């Protein structure tokens, strides 16, 4: 991932109205002569109000078009496909992970977004494709209880070292990320993980398996495990752990050897409101708009110019801040797309062995 250098103080003013939005996003032509209503499917939960503040309401002020947001399924590809095939278009725009984007693009179910990285060069290069634009970055990292460790672990080799770092451990009950972590613990460099040596990964997991107190299955569970102190060190998603820390848990994150991925907007192919949907997605590329959601969500903006208005203290807990992202690498969705089924079958059998 390409790096830029932030940071200056966040002075974002959402009340500036349509004029300020137009200045921040000059590609917005102006208020629509006949307003259009877009239905946007987002992940729900805290995303709804955060994106309402950052994207939905400012877009309405700038263009006169309204946004109605609904919560999508955790894996929306089946819903998305049904919308296109039945031409129901109950969604005009939907948030998609990289893997979901690739599944839908291969089946020709996505509209082009109408711009490229060259049009918004401050976006992460991985955050723009012909049919999709990423808005936020999440990361899989390690967290540990600071009331248990005087000096916490800082690598996956440390996590697997039960003598140097004794304590109750938790890993995700899924081969995704877990295989990569095992390989890094066995000495594979972060930038040389793929293609994954699956045999080597399982051999390393054999060593740690008896020490895993909990194999977690949901983000909410991982937050609770860290917050309650049921485990002393755990792998998982940065925003989930940040929620525990914000809730008062004596814990810290280690960004070293983290894996990140991106979530962003796609348009169902054939959508009759595709032109306005493209306008909305381009609006969401604006750095000030992306800076606004980081006030609530501990995810990284994909437009790195957003760090010019994100306070340094807040930037320090976001995945795409330079000091964090330089310690991580992007997960290889292509490898997982080809190997997910076989890796999952082997992992589930291994857990039961």
Per-residue model confidence as pLDDT tens digits over 55-107: 999 999 999 999 999 999 888 999 999 999 999 999 999 999 999 999 999 99
Decide if pLDDT at 16 tops 70. Answer: no
Q: What is the 3 state secondary structure string of the chain?
A: CCCCCCCCCCCCCHHHHHHHHHHHCCCCCCCCCCCCEEEEEECCCCHHHHHHHHHHHHHHHHHCCEEEEEECCCCCHHHHHHHHHHCCCCCCEEEEEHHHHHHHHHCCCECCCCCCHHHCCCECHHHEECCEEEEEEEEEEEEEECCCCCCCCCCHHHHHCCCCCCCCEEEECCHHHHHHHHHHHCCCCHHHCCCCCHHHHHHHHHHHHHHEEEEECCHHHHHHHHHHCCCCEEEEEHHHHHHHHHCCCCEEEEEEEEEEEEEEEECECCCCCHHHHHHHHHHCCCHHHHHHHCCCCCCEECEHHHHHCCCHHHHCCCCCCHHHHCCCEECCHHHHHHHHHHHHHHHHHHHHC
Residue 149 φ/ψ region, left for φ over 0, alpha for ψ in the -120 to 50 degree band, beta for the rest? beta
Q: Are 282 and 25 in contact (CB under 8 A)?
A: yes
Judge contact between 123 and 137, C-beta under 8 A.
no
Arithmetic mean of pLDDT over the chain:
91
Same fold, 14-137+261-320 and 139-260+330-352: yes
Q: How many CA atoms lie within 13 A of 28 on its CB side?
A: 26
Residue-range domain boundaries for the chain: 14-137+261-320, 139-260+330-352
Integer angstrom CA distances of residue 217 from 26, 206, 222, 237: 44, 20, 8, 12
Mean pLDDT of 252-261: 97
Stretch 236-261: mean pLDDT, rounded? 95
Q: Classify 139-260+330-352 by CATH class.
A: alpha beta
Does position 186 have pLDDT exceeding 60, yes or no?
yes
Please give the pLDDT value at position 31.
52
Taking domain 14-137+261-320, whether its CATH number is 3.40.190.10 is answered by yes
Vertex 215: Cα angle to 342 and 254 (nearest 5):
100
Closest-CA residue to 267 (of 111, 63, 122): 111
Using CA atoms, how far apart are residues 48 and 36, in angstroms rounded to an integer? 20
Q: What pLDDT, on a 0 to 100 scale, did the predictor assign at position 45?
A: 87
pLDDT category of residue 5 using cuts at 50, 70 and 90: very low
Report how far residue 76's alpha carbon sits from residue 78's, in angstroms, rounded to the nearest whole number: 6
In this model, does residue 6 exceed pLDDT 60? no
- HSE-CB of 137 using CA atoms within 13 angstroms: 33
pLDDT digits (tens, 9 = 90+) for 124-160: 999 999 999 999 999 999 999 999 999 999 999 999 9
């Amino acid at each position: 991932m390409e790096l830029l250098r932030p940071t200056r103080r966040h002075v974002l003013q959402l009340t500036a109205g349509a004029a300020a939005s137009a200045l921040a996003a000059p590609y917005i032509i102006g208020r629509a002569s006949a307003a259009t209503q877009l239905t946007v499917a987002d992940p729900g939960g805290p995303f709804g109000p955060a994106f309402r503040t950052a994207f939905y309401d400012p877009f309405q002020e700038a263009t006169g078009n309204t946004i109605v947001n609904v919560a999508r399924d955790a894996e929306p590809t089946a819903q998305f496909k049904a919308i296109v095939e039945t031409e129901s278009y109950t969604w005009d725009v939907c948030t998609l992970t990289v893997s979901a984007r690739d599944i839908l693009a291969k089946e020709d179910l996505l509209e082009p977004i109408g711009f490229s990285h060259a049009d918004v060069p401050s976006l992460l290069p991985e955050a723009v494709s012909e049919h999709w634009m990423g808005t936020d970055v999440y990361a899989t990292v390690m967290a540990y209880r600071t009331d248990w460790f005087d000096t916490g672990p800082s690598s996956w080799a440390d996590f697997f070292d039960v003598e140097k770092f004794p304590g109750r451990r938790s890993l995700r009950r899924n081969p995704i990320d877990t295989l990569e972590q095992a390989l890094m613990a066995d000495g594979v460099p972060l930038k040389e993980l793929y293609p994954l040596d699956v045999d080597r990964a399982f051999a390393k997991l054999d060593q740690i398996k008896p020490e895993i107190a909990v194999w977690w299955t949901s983000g909410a569970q991982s937050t609770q495990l860290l917050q309650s102190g049921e485990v002393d060190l755990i792998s998982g998603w940065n925003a989930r752990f940040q929620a525990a820390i914000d809730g008062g848990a004596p814990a810290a994150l280690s960004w070293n050897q983290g894996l990140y991925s991106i979530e962003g907007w796609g348009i169902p192919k054939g959508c009759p409101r595709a032109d306005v949907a493209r306008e909305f997605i381009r609006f969401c590329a604006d750095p000030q708009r992306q800076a606004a959601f980081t006030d609530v969500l501990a995810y990284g903006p994909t437009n790195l110019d957003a760090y010019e208005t994100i306070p340094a203290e807040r930037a320090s807990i976001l995945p795409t801040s330079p000091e964090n992202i330089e310690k991580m690498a992007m997960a290889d969705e292509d490898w997982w797309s080809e190997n997910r089924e076989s890796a999952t079958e082997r992992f589930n059998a291994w857990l039961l062995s």
